[in-house]
Amino acid sequence: MPKILVVDDEQSIREMLEIYLDREGYTVSCACDGLDALARCEQEPFDVIIADIKMPRMDGITLLQRVRDFSPETIFIMVTAFASFETARESMHEDAYDYITKPFYVEEIKRKIDAALEKRSQAVESRILEDGSSAKSQQASCGMIGQSLPMKKVFDLIGRAASVKSNVLITGESGTGKELVARAIHGQSNRVGLPFVVINCGGIPETLLESELFGYKKGAFTGAIKDKMGFLEAAHGGTLFLDEVGELPLALQVKLLRMVQEKTFTPVGGTDEIKVDVRIISATNKNLGMKVADGSFREDLYYRLNVINIALPPLRERREDIPLLARYFLDRSAAETGKNVSEISEFALDCLMRYDFPGNIRELENIIERGVALSTTSIMLPDSLDVSSCRSPEGARQAAADAKGDFSIPREGVLLDELVERFEKGYVEEALQQSGGSLKAAAQLLGITLRSMRYRIQKLALDERVLKRD
């Protein structure tokens, strides 16, 4: 049910709208003025706010401006007893959806609420369709997301690799999406619809890997009570994806090389050869060239597997894709959890853009999933992210260096609270000076939320006029 907040200093108006809108199926809350409403909005998100323009302590237009900072999708319908063109124009200029003049009929309010919600629903659907259309072109129809130059090159290689039968080696750090690339090649090839079999060469004990890959015959070893088909035979006609291929033991590399060359293999404990038509796609986060040099990987097998090489860039080398990926993971996590989180604040996004993501896309996915779970508003703020982890190694080292400082204490002692307040005040004033008085920009410089910035200005008794600059 849509959540409505009624903000009016007249109790009779609040009670009338609450009774009527509750009866119409909305979830309704009330506030007596703008400050009360702002406090409620910071605690929970609302779909629609019906606010009187003229109120004590904080008027409706100021409330709209404040709420827009952290909940831009909240719909405002302004109420005024002063039916002047200037008043209406001011409220619409501040991005109110509509306004209504007193006295009014409650049915008129409901019509405006329904129209506003319908318009927002259409806008969301349109955005999803546009994002989907854009994503299809950006992903080259391969289930991957990216619009950076490095990813465009990857998409081009995927398309070209899919059109031939050659074996492919995919290289890249953990979490860059190597299996997605393998599935994309299979999905765009003439083998689509046939088996795509995955074997993690590093996740199966060496003693079992041979029998899992090639299968075994009944009686081949203790416990082999019947024949078992291996991954190779199961992939006949399709694609076998060897993940972490660099972990293959040398003895098994010899058998795999023969299969790659001859397209035949013999199950463990068997004598008859089995012929297969399988395309091999391998992936590794290791430097196979170095493993060849140190003798832990066969050179002849390396060249058989590495006919076409696709090197995936780490996320830190394709930062322009971070907003697109973050949006995708946000929408997916919100849909899976049923939480009303629809946007990422520019400060939270800036935090992500500054981070190096050693875990690459998989780490970004986990951070966004955690952020959705912890978010208490419809827009994801830095507070919902693991901000301590969203710092580049250089930033972390600088922060550690800054934290050392001079902590010597004179014999007469110190007043710690005064030192902390002076330290905090100095940084807040410097941030405000650098940002030209902009609270948003100053909060971003300090890595805090806009709400936290306002709190510090009030706590430190800074010039209240600075609040009017944003």
Pick the range with the lowest mean pLDDT from 51-60, 265-274, 356-365, 461-470: 461-470
**Residue in the structure block whose two tokens are 């710092």:** 391
Pick the range with the lowest mean pLDDT from 15-24, 236-245, 435-444: 435-444
- Out of 3.40.47.10, 1.10.8.60, 3.90.220.20, 3.30.160.20, the CATH code matching 318-393 is 1.10.8.60
Domains 318-393 and 406-469 share a fold: no
pLDDT for 184 equals 92
- Segment 162-176 shows an average pLDDT of 92
CATH node for 406-469: 1.10.10.60
Query: pLDDT grade, residue 450 (50/70/90)?
Result: confident
- Segment 224-229 shows an average pLDDT of 82
> Angle 60-70/34-43 helices, nearest 10 degrees?
20
- Segment 229-257 shows an average pLDDT of 91
Domain-wise residue ranges, the chain: 3-129, 149-313, 318-393, 406-469
Compare 434 and 330 and report the one with higher pLDDT.
Answer: 330
* pLDDT value at 138 more than 80: no
- Quote the tokens at residue 449: 């939320």
Residue 268 — φ and ψ, nearest 5°? -60, 125
pLDDT tens profile 196-220: 999 998 888 877 888 888 888 887 7
- Out of 3.30.70.580, 3.40.50.720, 3.30.70.20, 3.40.50.300, the CATH code matching 149-313 is 3.40.50.300
pLDDT tens profile 380-403: 877 777 644 444 444 444 444 443
pLDDT for 279 equals 94
pLDDT for 361 equals 92
CATH node for 3-129: 3.40.50.2300
- Segment 438-457 shows an average pLDDT of 78
The set of residues, in sequence order, having a beta carbon less than 8 Å from that of 172 and lying 6+ positions away, is: 178, 283, 285, 311, 312, 313, 314
- Segment 332-356 shows an average pLDDT of 85
Q: Which residues of 298-322 are buried (b: 16+ CB within 10 A; e: fewer)?
A: beebbebbbebebebbbbeebeebb
- Quote the tokens at residue 47: 């779909």
pLDDT for 269 equals 84
CB 371 within 8 A of CB 380: yes
- Kindly compute the dihedral angle of the four CA atoms of residues 376, 381, 387, 391, in this order, to the nearest 10 degrees: 160
pLDDT for 414 equals 60
pLDDT for 208 equals 83
